[in-house]
Amino acid sequence: MRLVILWSLLPTLAAQAPARLPQRVLYVGETANAERAREFAEFLAPRFAKVAATTHDAFTAEATKDIDVVVLDWHQGGASDRTKSPLGELENWNKPLVLLGSAGLNTAIAWNVFGGVG
């Protein structure tokens, strides 16, 4: 009986699939990981109103003009300079920020905020 009820509700549940969330998202990834950036953009695109992707090297503050949330992907290894954030100075930052990988540690180091040690 439960199976019949669930089966009969299936079309209703499918019709109520959530619409895209209204946020406009910018993914900022490492230049060396272009495939990862493409995969994140593909994952986020059906879920948000707008999704764009750029690299640490190509990032400019202008890129956040029409963006609500920035997703920063930044790993700990390699030759990257962790004393400089690809997003610029903390004093100039005013967007919500989602940190992936070691971006939390790296951003704390670059912006000299709590969390840069440990």
- CA proximity to 58, closest of 31, 91, 77: 31
- CA proximity to 27, closest of 45, 9, 3, 4: 45
DSSP 23-80: EEEEEEE-GGGHHHHHHHHHHHTTTEEEEEEEETTT--GGGGTT-SEEEEEE-S-TT-
Which helix (H) or strand (E) covers residue 22, if one does?
strand 21-29
Per-residue pLDDT tens digits for 78-105? 666 778 899 999 999 999 999 998 898 8
User: In angstroms, rounded to a whole number, what is the distance separating the alpha carbons of residues 88 and 93?
Assistant: 8
Per-residue pLDDT tens digits for 5-21? 545 555 655 556 668 99
